[in-house]
Every structure is written in structure tokens, then in C-alpha cells.
Amino acid sequence: MEQAKFIKNILMNSKGISIAIVGDNDRFLKDTIKYIILDITSSEIDKYLFVDTEESPNIKIDDVRNIQDFLSFSPDKGTKFAVIFNAEKLLPEAENALLKTLEEPPDYAIIILVTTNWNALFSTIKSRVFRFNLNIPNDLFKNIDNFFLKKLIWTFPDKVEELKNKDFKVIELDKLHKEKDIFNVFYTIYHSIKDSIGDLKKLNSIANSFSKIKDFDFLKTISKVSLWIAEEFSYFQNVDYNSIKDIEKISSSKKANYNYELTYYYILFSLNDSIKKD
């Protein structure tokens, strides 16, 4: 955790700067940065502001205005932290509104952009921040050979011990939208799709079941797991990645304006087409 200690030291000994913390795992980034900020501020609510996208797929101009309002008055002592998680989800108008604040932050504040997709930010944003990297520790995967379990730990690094001891269950597809255990949802999606590759009738049935779930997060989960499956197949046979470029776009999409039924079909059949039969 040397990277985390280094970043914490920067935050404790700096003011009046804007930084970007870039990593390879969204959940690990979020949990680590929140822990650091809450520790530095002793959880004093007037010392920090977290902008997140759990309630919305995008970061909008109103979110930027909230940051500007938060930074408009100085604290009695110490530093104020404004943190934008998933900064790659900033809409263009929000990025433009943020430029001046990033360039000239108050001398009592630090603005932090947290992202797993540095390249998605405007060059005008990137030129105004100091970049630091914070990647998931490799020892989380020690003694783990199962491909699916590795990917799930990568997605939920804070749940390592739970996942290592998890008794996963396959849920009936028609009941998947009611399942409370997110890990069983991932497990069901993964095995249902993987076991159906090459069988168009099965894939059609799966897509039909998914089409009843008109939820953006679920759609992105389907695209994410489909990319996992393509990666796994690539270890022992050829995969045509040109066929799944659009799946990658859906996985990182900022907007939820999809025809869900058509998109589920498109993802599954694009994945199927991408896996070449030697």
C-alpha cells in the first residue's frame, strides 16, 4: 500500500492544488480515497465533499456548482477536500464549468478527480491537475486460479474474504431482477452466457430473459461480464476484438439512452461472433 501512503502524505501536506488519482479499479479507488479523506478530516462533514454517481450515470453541471459553493468559504482550520469520483463521467458542460476552479483552487482546498479512465477526460482538464496513480495490490489474487473469482475480486476488492468463501448460486433468469445477492447475479450472468456460446437458440433465450430488465446498471453488468468471457476465451483460442468494440463502449457509457431489448441481443450475439472457431 505504498502508493496509498504516498498519496495520503501529499494530501496532508498540500493546499491550493488540483490533482487526479488514476487507478485500475473503481471500487478500490473509491474505498481507499474515502478512507484517506475521512481519516485526514476526522470525518468532519464541513471539511469534505464527495461527488459520486451512484444515484446518476453522469456528473452534471449542477454537481460542479455544488463544489464551487462548497469551496466558496474557508474552514476555521485545516484543508477542505472536494472529491469527484468516476470523473470520467463528467458531462462536457460540467467539465467546462470546472476548468477555472481546477486552475485556481482556493488556497485552503484540494480538488481531487478520481478515475479509472484518464483518457476520457478533456485535455483541458488533464493539463490543470497533477496526476498520481493508485492501483489495486497484486497480492489480493494470491493463490486464486479461478478466472471468474479473479474478475469478481477485481470488481469488489473490499469483499475478498467473503468472495473466497462464497458458495455461489445460479439464479433462474426470470427471477434475476429480484435477486438481492449481487455476486449471485454476476455468477448467473457469467455462466449462462459462457455456457451458451455457439448456441444461438440459447443465446436468444437468454437475451429474451434479460430484455425484461430495463436497468442501466444491469446492462453495463452484462457488457462487463461479456468482456470477461471474451478475455477468458482469448487464452485458448482466437477472439476477434473488432466485433466487441461496441460492447466496450456500452461498458463505459455515460448515458442510459439505450433500447434495452435490442442492446441485450446485440451484446450477446456480438460476443458470440467475436469468438472464432478454429
pLDDT at 243: 78
- CB-based contacts of 184: which residues, under 8 Å, 6+ apart? 168, 169, 170, 171
For residue 277, is pLDDT > 80?
no
Kindly report, residue by residue over 161-176, the tens digit of the pLDDT.
Answer: 889 889 999 999 988 8
Domains in the chain (CATH in brackets) are 2-136 (3.40.50.300), 167-274 (no CATH)
239, 230 contact by CB (below 8 A): yes
Q: Tell me the pTM.
A: 0.63
Residue type, 253: S
Kindly report, residue by residue over 51-109, the tens digit of the pLDDT.
Answer: 987 666 789 999 999 999 999 999 988 999 999 999 998 999 999 999 999 999 999 99
Task: Region of 16 please: left (phi>0), alpha (psi -120 to 50) or beta.
Answer: left
Q: List alpha helices for 13-107, DSSP H.
A: 26-41, 61-70, 92-103
- For residues 243 and 241, give the distance between their C-alpha atoms in angstroms, rounded to a whole number: 5
